[in-house]
Structure 1
């Protein structure tokens, strides 16, 4: 199958930390849909860096960036988009490396971004019957907070990491604060980008949770990560209160 023609503005960026055996299939699926694809290996210790580097050796459309130690998803994304901006890329579609996100929808999301480059294109997850109820229902809390903190600007889902970001606005909001480096990256990024005036657009996208016997690997820790999200929304809410007059004025003038 011929690979897609290279884009000079949009790339696929895959942060990856100990993703399990599905990572090669995930990257191949992304490459079948888009060129270029970059993978940022975030200090993985499972041998996936070597497998991906071997794959990239025969594929000029695939680039593998290996970080020496685990820094967190947000830090891996920042590393990737900083390098991308230096090479002239304006947009990055982020997706997980474990096969949960739908590579087949990459062209649709990229087309939506190309049609409205000032916006961020957010995946709105469509869950299958095997999705853990705790994860599905728990994200409603984070989504409720994110929508309040942005005065309902239109964030369909704050946690789903399959999305297209304008690179420069994301770099600015990440460099302006010390947070957004670990599991809190996805929801904080969309809230702060909304505050910065980046309009969200939502597209439905299926999400699949793999069982352990299917090669699924989950780094989600219920207590640790919910404490992290609670702290994140606490500080975002304080930022929201400070910005409330400006946000309300903007909302009144965009209706």
Structure 2
């Protein structure tokens, strides 16, 4: 296998969208700062009524590596990340990390995800690969996630096992190549959308096994509308993909790789 020489990843922005995460945010920020001390944390708060934004301001006042972006209202996960990507691109960061504020994404695993960018464009913290696992999920939630990923894999022809995963790191050069104009997806669908764009752009995607831990404090933001959006869009994209193959427009996508299992 020929490995493309890539620039070192030194300047990292960890993007943490928040909406009513007052109880979880301080601990997550502290753990990120301890795990990757050189990284900057950008909190993207959607005007949380519980005062998360103001709490984040206090954290930022004491730490120059933390800043807060106050958004006018609850606009969704996808739009928050797009705002964070724009900052990372404008300010010359080498990589942008997506991380939940609720503790489900362990900051202690971030160094391994960033290390995978040494020879990749997108590193996904994956649950449904060898070595990955999920804790404290009911069976129905596991079935839904695994089923969604199998359906996505079959419909879109992507060799990615966990395209819905929300813990991931992009090289900013990859974000430029993928093109973010027109992305309006949210939740599961946002992650699938960007994974598909990376694959279709011929970028190298690797999956790093992680342990996902269900939140202990607060309420999940994942609703039926987000699941419905993902199902609808994946079906539409899948039909377009298959029609494109029949017409010879869509080429064979590059295979994903799981870190630790490369030939």
SS in 1 for 2:185: coil
Q: CA deviation at 1:70?
A: 1.4
Distance 1:197 1:178 in 2: 18
SS in 2 for 1:54: helix
Matched, 1:42 2:43: no
Answer yes or no: is the 8 Å Cα contact 2:114–2:169 preserved in 1.
Answer: yes
Matched, 1:33 2:35: yes
Moved more, 242-251 or 139-148: 242-251
Listed as ranges, the gaps of 5+ residues in structure 2 are: 1-8, 256-263
Q: CA deviation at 1:170?
A: 3.0
Counterparts of 1:94-109 in structure 2 under 5 Å?
A: 94-109=98-113
SS in 2 for 1:175: coil
Answer yes or no: is the 8 Å Cα contact 1:98–1:217 preserved in 2.
Answer: no
SS in 1 for 2:149: helix
Post-superposition Cα deviations, 1:65-111, rounded to whole Å, max 9, x if no partner, equal 11111111111111011111111113111110111101001111111
Matched, 1:124 2:126: yes
Distance 1:156 1:185 in 2: 16
Q: TM-score, normalised by structure 1?
A: 0.84
Q: CA deviation at 1:175?
A: 3.3
SS in 2 for 1:229: helix
Answer yes or no: is the 8 Å Cα contact 1:19–1:217 preserved in 2.
Answer: no
Q: Which residue of 1 aligns with 2:114?
A: 110
Q: CA deviation at 1:39?
A: 1.3
Listed as ranges, the gaps of 5+ residues in structure 1 are: 1-6
May I ask how many residue pairs the two structures share in their alignment?
A: 239
Post-superposition Cα deviations, 1:1-52, rounded to whole Å, max 9, x if no partner, equal xxxxxx7532211122222511111111111122211111123222111111
Distance 1:243 1:10 in 2: 37
Q: CA deviation at 1:116?
A: 1.4
Q: Which residue of 2 aligns with 1:4?
A: none
Distance 1:217 1:208 in 2: 14
SS in 1 for 2:20: coil
Q: CA deviation at 1:187?
A: 1.7
Counterparts of 1:191-230 in structure 2 under 5 Å?
A: 191-210=196-215, 214-221=216-223, 223-230=224-231
Q: TM-score, normalised by structure 2?
A: 0.82
What's the Cα RMSD here?
2.3
* Equivalent of residue 64 in structure 1, options 49, 64, 68: 68
* Equivalent of residue 18 in structure 2, options 16, 32, 40: 16
- Describe the shift of the 1:127–1:169 C-alpha distance in structure 2 as closer, same or farther (beyond 3 A): same
